[in-house]
């Protein structure tokens, strides 16, 4: 709030700009982050405003004494803030009024500052809605800047003014930058006075019509507006500009009425919280916090918000379905939305977890990661995944990766068993398996899972114990792999110091599984061919058994050797077995024919 006779001449020239006003919106500032709606009664809210006190002229030879928390001069009633100037003797002054500041309670860098107000009239009044720097980073006035959102002098009832002051552009030098708007009802009707302040410019706006732009020309001397500023709302009496044509004592009391003060800023709504949850897990999700905002959360139907509904932070009990944790935030008349997709972690309920499906004919879950021209070709059949590789440079550690659809909690399943075969005709089949968690931390600490390969063209089981060894040493030593969130297998074939250049060969992987305990001898025995045939294998709901002999009894065992089904009265050379109730896994089935039990066969239940 400043004055000069040259300022009036400058603004008279620019009044014509009001005829060419440009529509200005607040789309770029879409979140109401602070406001006072004056929906209360009494003194201005102490949490948002401080009444500055004094009668020293305030640098402009003003006549009033600004009082501290005096309801006669500053009060809220009927939904508006009233700043009232009175003609009365008070502490050596002939007038009293009020000056409200938001220092330390409402300080901002950039945004749309919007005030709806009705102005006082009469010669000698000087209402102002303006901003000063909170920290004075570039020195005293005018070095650190001033933004006058609205100024009005009573002897010129048809104009309101907007101005910026800096080290180079200020009224002391007659170089201040600003403009004005012409109107006839500033003193009888409410109008919205605003600025839209960004790193590149400040737009001055009345009733959503932009009438002046102050551009950032670079350097603090021209643009000190890269620091936080606060509001000042005041009604001065007289002074070097407001009293330039004298003061009419008969007009008092005079009042400025303010309907609201609002600050909008860019809303970058974010939700933070776990990306993966187990069924029944309790977790917290937090969103960007805005003042006076309404938070409306949406979660999958089988999940539950256990605390914080309607706030920026909620506690959720997760269900069994993956889905969005979505949020709609209403700030004033604006709505902002955000969503985080949360996947449900698989938690094995059985003693065996099958890592990936290698026999479904779909290789989209496999990716190649090489930098030297090494190649991998994949094909899947009902028996296994076949991998044909060509290693160009083993030192570049060529690899392929298998990613499962959702992470799995393998904390209680530390035994990994991989069933594979190779003929190893090139004598280059050396293998290493690393498992990674959702953060990309791999089980690459010594000892790694590097099986000794048997190249006889038969499937063999290779086992590794991760108990106490979910560890990583690269890229940083001492990391712990999150065994509750395993999602990827990395396979190196003919890589590293044991590899051979320019070699090609094949491997077949029948299954990868994790167990709660190591395999038993019966699990690892070779199952010979016999007169019994079973199909399909793998099986879904019905397993068909045929034999050259009469089948008397059938028994099925799970991977632990526990009997899960027994049929004692077959008396036929064929039988159909209901497997729909069996959990997915590997099973052994044996048959009694002609009073003797045959060797067991293995089948997979999908």
Residues with a known catalytic role = 146, 151
Rounded CA separation 366/581 (Å) = 31
Instruction: Name the burial class of residue 217, with classes exposed (0-12), middle (13-18) and buried (19+) by CB atoms within 10 angstroms of its CB.
Output: exposed
Return the biggest CA–CA distance within the chain: 125
Going by C-alpha positions, the residue among 19, 45, 23 that lies closest to residue 34 is 45
The single-letter DSSP state of residue 68 is S
Going by C-alpha positions, the residue among 587, 552, 548, 545 that lies closest to residue 568 is 552
Going by C-alpha positions, the residue among 181, 177, 175, 145 that lies closest to residue 161 is 181
The single-letter DSSP state of residue 238 is B
**What are the percentages of helix, strand and coil residues in the chain, rounded to 5?**
5, 50, 45
Rounded CA separation 95/59 (Å) = 17
Rounded CA separation 544/485 (Å) = 38
SS (H, E, C) 236-254: EEECCCCCCCCCCHHHCCE
The single-letter DSSP state of residue 20 is G
SS (H, E, C) 209-227: EEEEEEECCCCCCCCCCCC
Tokens read off for 391: 């290693």
| In contact, 15 and 62? CB cutoff 8 Å | no
Place of tokens 């809210």: 45
H helices, E strands: number in the chain = 2, 46
Tokens read off for 522: 């019966």
Residue partners of 452: CB distance under 8 A and separation at least 6: none
SS (H, E, C) 125-166: EEEEEEEEECCCCCCCCCCCCEEEEEECCCCCCCEEEEEEEC
Residue 402 CA neighbour count, 13 Å, CB half: 19
Rounded CA separation 56/94 (Å) = 13
């Amino acid at each position: 709030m400043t004055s000069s006779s040259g300022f009036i001449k400058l603004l008279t020239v620019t009044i014509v700009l009001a005829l060419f006003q440009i529509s200005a919106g607040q789309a770029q500032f879409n979140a109401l982050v602070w406001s006072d709606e004056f929906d209360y009664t009494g003194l201005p809210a102490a949490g948002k405003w401080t009444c500055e006190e004094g009668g020293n002229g305030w640098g402009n030879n003003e006549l009033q004494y600004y009082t501290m928390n005096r309801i006669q001069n500053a009060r809220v009633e009927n939904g508006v803030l009233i700043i009232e100037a009175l003609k009365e003797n008070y502490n050596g002054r002939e007038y009293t009024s009020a000056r409200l500041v938001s220092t330390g309670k409402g300080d901002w860098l950039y945004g749309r500052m919007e005030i709806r107000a009705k102005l006082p009239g009469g010669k000698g009044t000087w209402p102002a809605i303006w901003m000063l720097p909170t920290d004075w980073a570039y020195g005293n006035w005018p070095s650190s800047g001033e933004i006058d959102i609205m100024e009005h002098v009573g002897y010129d009832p048809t104009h309101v003014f907007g101005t910026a002051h800096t080290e180079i552009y200020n009224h002391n030098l007659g170089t201040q930058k600003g403009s004005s708007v012409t109107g006839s009802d500033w003193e009888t009707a409410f109008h919205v006075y605003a600025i839209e302040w960004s790193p590149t410019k400040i737009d001055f706006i009345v009733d959503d019509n932009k009438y002046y732009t102050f551009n950032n020309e670079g350097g603090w001397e021209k643009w000190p507006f890269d620091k936080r500023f606060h509001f000042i709302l005041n009604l001065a009496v007289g002074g070097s500009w407001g009293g330039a044509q004298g003061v009419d004592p008969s007009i008092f009391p005079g009042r400025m009425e303010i309907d609201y003060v609002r600050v909008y800023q860019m809303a970058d709504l974010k939700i933070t919280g776990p990306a993966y949850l187990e069924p029944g897990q309790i977790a917290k999700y937090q969103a960007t916090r805005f003042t006076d905002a309404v938070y409306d959360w949406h979660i999958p139907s089988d999940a539950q918000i256990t605390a914080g509904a309607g706030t920026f932070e909620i506690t959720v009990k997760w269900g069994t379905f993956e889905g969005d944790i979505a949020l709609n935030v209403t700030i004033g008349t604006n709505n902002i939305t955000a969503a985080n997709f949360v996947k449900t972690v698989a938690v094995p309920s059985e003693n065996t977890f099958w890592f990936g499906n290698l026999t479904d004919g779909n290789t989209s879950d496999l990716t190649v990661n090489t930098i030297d021209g090494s190649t991998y070709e994949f094909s899947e059949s009902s028996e296994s995944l076949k991998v044909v590789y060509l290693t160009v440079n083993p030192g570049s550690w060529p690899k392929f990766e298998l990613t499962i659809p959702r992470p799995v909690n393998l904390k209680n399943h530390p035994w990994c068993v991989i069933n594979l075969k190779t003929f190893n005709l090139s004598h280059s089949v050396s293998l290493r398996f690393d498992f990674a968690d959702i953060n990309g931390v791999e089980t690459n600490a010594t000892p790694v899972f590097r099986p000794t390969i048997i190249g006889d063209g038969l499937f063999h089981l290779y086992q590794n114990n991760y108990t106490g060894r979910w560890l990583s040493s690269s890229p940083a030593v001492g990391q712990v792999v999150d065994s509750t969130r395993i999602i990827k297998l990395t396979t190196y074939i003919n890589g590293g110091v044991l590899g051979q250049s320019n070699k090609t060969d094949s491997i077949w992987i029948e299954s990868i599984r994790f167990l709660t305990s190591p395999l038993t001898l019966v699990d690892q025995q070779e199952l010979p061919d016999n007169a019994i045939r079973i199909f399909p294998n793998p099986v879904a709901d019905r397993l068909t058994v045929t034999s050259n002999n009469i089948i008397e009894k059938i028994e099925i065992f799970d991977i632990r050797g526990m009997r899960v089904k027994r049929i004692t009265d077959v008396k036929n050379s064929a039988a159909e077995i209901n497997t729909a109730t069996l959990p997915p896994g590997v099973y052994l089935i044996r048959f009694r024919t002609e009073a003797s039990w045959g060797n067991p066969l293995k089948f997979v239940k999908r």
